[in-house]
A and B are shown apart, each in its own frame.
Chain A
Amino acid sequence: MHINIKYFGQIAEVTEKEEESLEFSGSLVSELLEMLNEKYSELKNKDFQVAQNQELVSIEAELTGDEIALLPPFAGG
């Protein structure tokens, strides 16, 4: 499955990029995160939520979307 991943704020500092797209064969959001944790070792020390196609999802959710975003704590306002 082809997935675009977007990184924001301090997460983008860890990954040193704001987005990337990759092929992934797993079926759960948690599996994708495991793979990213391996790729970016600092990631597991960070707090973030996951949005799939612009809706927040739990990590147990099934991967359906082609856009995943890793969102650090919000600071609007």
Chain B
Amino acid sequence: MTDRYNRHIILSEIGQIGQDKISNAKVLVIGAGGLGCPVLQYLTAAGVGTIGIIDFDVVELSNLQRQVLFGTSTLGKNKAIAAKARLEDLNSAISIFAYAEKLTHQNAIHLFNQYDIIVDGTDNFETRYLVSDACIITNKPLVFGAIYKFEGQVSVFNYNNGSSYRCLFPNPPKQGSVPNCSEIGVLGVLPGIIGSMQANEVLKIILSIGNVLSGKLLCYNALTSNTSTLKINRNETAISNVLKDKENFHKKEINFKCDIEVNSLSIETFLSKENVQFIDVREAHEHPKIKDLAVTYIPLSELEHSLDKIDKTKKKAIFCQSGIRSKRAVELLQERDIQNCFSVIEGASEINNIISALDPSGFKNLKGLQNIKIMTNKKPKSVFKEGAITSEFIGNSIHKHQTKTSIGAHNIFLGQVRADEIDGKTVSAIEYTAYEDMANQKFHEIRESAFEKFDLTCMHIYHSLGTVKAGEICLFVFVSSPRRKVVFEALEFIVEAIKADVPVFGKEIFEDESHQWKVNN
């Protein structure tokens, strides 16, 4: 034990007392990505006694360029779990907890309360504001790190009444206005440098030595090797606003979930069709180009002034590097009343992979592809929710769409469990089960065909599993469009398809606890 930490202990600033402080510390790292990996590696090596890792994502090949805890053997594995396995090999004398889930407004407070220091290694603004607000509410110091191409930033927030993230940026930037790493790229060593600086701040806080980067933002430029430090003043209003709204914190949801649904379809859907205009909204210098597909090039920055290049008679399949700018482009076109615009889910290199997996003889003639079904490794997202769907959840869903001002009409279907009376007995609840994999596949097919048939801006389906009492909601379908007429037709189409095609089973439970099986007619 002493041997392991010998180089710490012989430092007079640390000693055995300092090392004991490190052993007693509890640190939670949000995100095991480019920043999280070096933070975790050094905190584990230093012997931080309790380390939590939360990350819902899985290891991908493109992560290995900078996420140094992973290797080819962990591809496809959850990052929190893979990191824990690697770190336990590095130091088995500490406790490491892996949370393979998304950080949400519902789980953040409970989780943060179990740790002394929170480290932010996330890659999107929505989660950063969630982390920051939860740190203000739980009064935990937040060690912040961020990277952009060749530049990085480090700071410590909420430390001894210092400034907070909201003092620096009171409100989140507009969605899609700032690209992330997968969108714009990053020099692999940069998160290594910034993450190591974050680990350094964590250790200084634990040991109470040196000057903690509180009230200051350190900026580092990897190309010039320059660092500069900006002063951040505490903004009392921004902080007290968060505290004032504390009671509602757990009711909030990260908004960007909805964007996944903005007319997003797989490239497969379009390859098999005629009358499609493929539009690349990346800048001219960006690679890879799409081989063997007739593409119109309109960078997002020029789109507004290039509307004449858009073919109004065709379906527009818009793509970019990762699927973020293409969504912006769809929104922009919808705002200008141009219909039939779709954002392609896949990024450019994935599109190339899909195309090259096709029979090359069929390629030039799009019609020839009509019956080819390509398997992508994208799993359809689950629509199932455990238990009843609450009116609060439904209200939140409506709220989340109010930033999307191209929408002119929503339509909602709510299925409610009816207290049927059968042979003198009354149904008190339905217990739902499903053949989940097949059901999610069917929901996915219904979704894709609804987008194809109707001019929808977005759609959401949620179905309960488990027990739903009479009077509670078990199915929630939500469609939105610029125009009212389509939402009526689309909703009926979707609900009927769900009833007919999705393998969900319902056990009607009577008040005397006997049961019968429900059948759709």
Q: A residues touching B (Cβ–Cβ < 8 Å)?
A: 6, 8-10, 51, 54, 69, 71-77
Contact = CB atoms under 8 A, between A and B. Distances in A.
Interface residues of B, number: 28
A74 B502 contact: yes
B507 A9 contact: yes
B363 interface: no
A9 B433 contact: yes
Given A69-B438, A74-B502, A77-B499, 19 more contacts: A8-B433, A8-B434, A8-B435, A10-B517, A54-B437, A54-B441, A74-B503, A75-B430, A75-B504, A75-B505, A75-B506, A75-B517, A75-B520, A76-B434, A76-B463, A76-B502, A76-B520, A77-B498, A77-B504
Interface string B483-521: 000000000000100111111111100000000011110
Contacts of B499: 74, 76-77
A34 to B, nearest CB: 23
Contacts of A77: 415, 463, 474-475, 495, 498-499, 504, 520
B504 A51 contact: no
A74 B434 CA distance: 9
Contacts of A69: 435, 438, 503
B520 A74 contact: yes
Given A9-B517, A54-B441, A71-B503, A76 B435 contact: no
12 contacts: A8-B434, A9-B517, A51-B503, A74-B502, A74-B520, A75-B519, A76-B432, A76-B439, A76-B499, A77-B495, A77-B499, A77-B520
Contacts of B430: 75
A18 B415 CA distance: 27
A69 B433 CA distance: 14
A32 to B, nearest CB: 17
A68 B11 CA distance: 65
A74 B505 CA distance: 5
A8 B505 contact: yes
Q: Counting chain B CB atoms within 10 Å of each CB, which of A75, A76, A77 scores highest?
A: A76
B65 to A, nearest CB: 36
Contacts of B435: 6, 8, 51, 54, 69, 71
Contacts of B441: 54
Contacts of A73: 517, 519-520
Interface string B417-443: 000000000000010111101110100
Contact of B500 (A51, A54, A74): A74
Contacts of B507: 9
Contacts of A76: 432, 434, 439, 463, 475, 498-499, 502-504, 506, 520
A72 B434 CA distance: 11
A72 B516 CA distance: 13
Q: Counting chain B CB atoms within 10 Å of each CB, which of A6, A54, A71, A74 scores highest?
A: A74
A15 to B, nearest CB: 14
Nearest to A76: B504
Interface in B435-486: 435, 437-439, 441, 463, 474-475
